[in-house]
Amino acid sequence: MAATKSGNTYTYTYPTALAAGTYVVHVGLHGAQSMGFSGNGTMPFPTVLTSTNTGFTFEFEDLSNGGVLALTSAPASLNIDYQTLLQNQ
């Protein structure tokens, strides 16, 4: 699956909308990908920002300081794996 970038945020849209409800998502990178982050102290972690029945958005946080990582040199799209779970309807 490919997620596309806008600013510091990536977006993935489901091929078909899911049933109405509240969803939780876990997202991770699929395989080795160069994100363009530099420095040994950078600890990138994908954080889901929004989740709906049509898709989700996520960004990368630096676990070493809690800041949002600037994605200026990151690719325009990423290959991702995700799990979406229905919390309630």
CA distances from 75 to 6, 22, 50, 54, 83 (A): 10, 30, 21, 23, 22
Per-residue model confidence (pLDDT) at position 37:
72
One pLDDT digit (tens) per residue for the chain, 89 residues: 899 999 889 999 999 999 998 999 999 989 888 777 766 677 788 999 999 999 999 999 988 888 888 887 788 899 999 999 998 87
pTM greater than the 0.75 cutoff: yes
Q: Identify the pLDDT of residue 58.
A: 96
> What is residue 39's predicted lDDT score, i.e. its pLDDT?
66
